[in-house]
Structure 1
């Protein structure tokens, strides 16, 4: 049992390590660590280079001071006659710095040291031998040596009074190794502080990214739980207006659209199967009752079956039309003369039934639309008007511009028929929905949904205004782009 639990925990940890949260956090920390490392190494290299330059400049100051003492001469006036006197006066001057030591020596003579202790013991035979071996006449030579396990930089300056007498050396030393060690130690402190900063940044980043990626985890959990049968799951949208919140909002909207689409699809399939079941039942029942030996019965049954087949074919054609309405090539736009369109449309619909047909308004101008689809929409509206009217009723067709000359176009089909109740007006644009009042042959319930689909394919809309026993007006609105 323990092994199983540990295994699950380990798999859970492995899964977390593969998440976007850890990849983002690891990337940020990697760049931060690289930046800190580059900063530390660069700073250390610059400090070491500056240390070398500064130490050399400070050592040269001793040589300059010796030259100034020699030029000033003996206190009270006069020139130095011996190097011993020069070195004695020189060593009585300013004390060396914290890491500096000074020594003077005369070839074959004495060695001079300042009073007090110095960081480095220069009065050793080995160092004197090195100094005389490395010196160069009339210039200062720098040389690094090891004294008591420490690196010391020497500035060896030759000295003479220019009278052909004895020569000497001024040896100034600086504990450069100790200063380097201090800088390297500071770099170690910086490295420890950087590591602590990375750990703190990692902890804070882990907590912050955990909160930021909560919607992402919820998205993942939602996608795992969502099935075709159940699309009700939603993701909680966090407060704020960042990309993650917008992602959660868009995901919920996508689920809303999918749920609505699938619900419409199911309803559509149920309604279609119901609508097709009736003619199929009629056909089957008449075939079962058909008397093959009775020519009259065969003839009547044949006519009835053909009518039912025609109705089924029309229903299938309308279903296919609605199915294609969502495709981008459903409409093909072209410039249409408005008056010519209305004239052609009234000629086509006037033969649908014996009604009082007329045109209310000719707007003039041209608009951009799919001529065939628009004629189809007007015919559907006219057929709907025929079903709601009687012989003496008026059915009118018209159009008008909205707004400026670059505004939209509204095309309407109005009738003086039975009208539509307020309750039915809310559902007549649904597939297979039928108004409660009709004065003609009942349709399939797909005519108005087809007109609505054509309007929406043109980025337009379809609306109705109606009162019972006073008539109805269906208005198809098309967007701008007119001339």
Structure 2
């Protein structure tokens, strides 16, 4: 955003400079050329008055005046009679016929002629001025002065380069001012964006600091802070309620199960199936309460410590191998020899693996193997559990990490296992991905940032 604002400011500055400097440069060039032509025209008029008596026959022809002007200015001076034949030519000693030159024709007719043309002979632009030499209303001839325009062109070019240098300095100054202005606008907006990103990611502890920012942005920041505070309090209250309710339900549920088991012998024969169903429902409710407690703990922010994924994975594989063996399912560990250190809360990795292995062993067909792997990818360690079960559809994979979702309603469970895993992983800056396994099955990958 800063770059876009800076480019916008500089674009406007460049357009303003171009709109001002180009007309100014053209105006200065035209004025300089007009001034130059006016000076030469005045000089030509003075020379014409000097040679007026000569052409009128009252004085001898004296080319010294034309020569003196040539020496002073470098101009060529030509004096012609009414027929266009040169009487004085500072560049030639032999008379020449100038009667076909348009400026001479105009001057002999009693009018001034001023203009520029390119000289093929000299290879440069020339300014020409021709004025009549007249007295008493009678034209006795004409005088023409030609001068190279190099000097005036050089002055115009120097002025143009001065404008370019001035424009460059203005552009540099405006770039600095634009950068400061853009930063003053985008810096608080960037802080707002970062805070909003943190809020959307679940981190409601951050607050927006916009001291010195425009009032409108400060008001927006204060509104975001109030919203984050209220959301944080609401979520804390919700989590505390779930934790308290789950904790308070554990004791009565345990007592209920014991009472059901104790009254079993009092029931008449034929009610064994009803009793077993009642015990199963009680067990399911107890599991649900335990899972809710785990979920509330997973969502709490606790201190982290470095742990070795490989060591913890090896320990959980050993623990679950006996359970999996009862179901004729094997568990294999694939991990690097150097270890994989991540920063997590105590017990978090164990909870993640217990939930993933519980799901994998439950769906793995007898005779298959559940694979637990640890690997390094870029700046993250990947902990994965893969099974050879029925797998999930793409739609189910998107819903599987939600709370209380169960792909098969007939399968025991609370539907909170993957929700707990997701909460644990995301609270530590990681991600969870569900991918298909070639040949059938599901691979659940969780990533954790590498500890430097």
TM-score, length basis structure 1: 0.39
TM-score by structure 2 length? 0.42
Higher CA-based Rg: 1
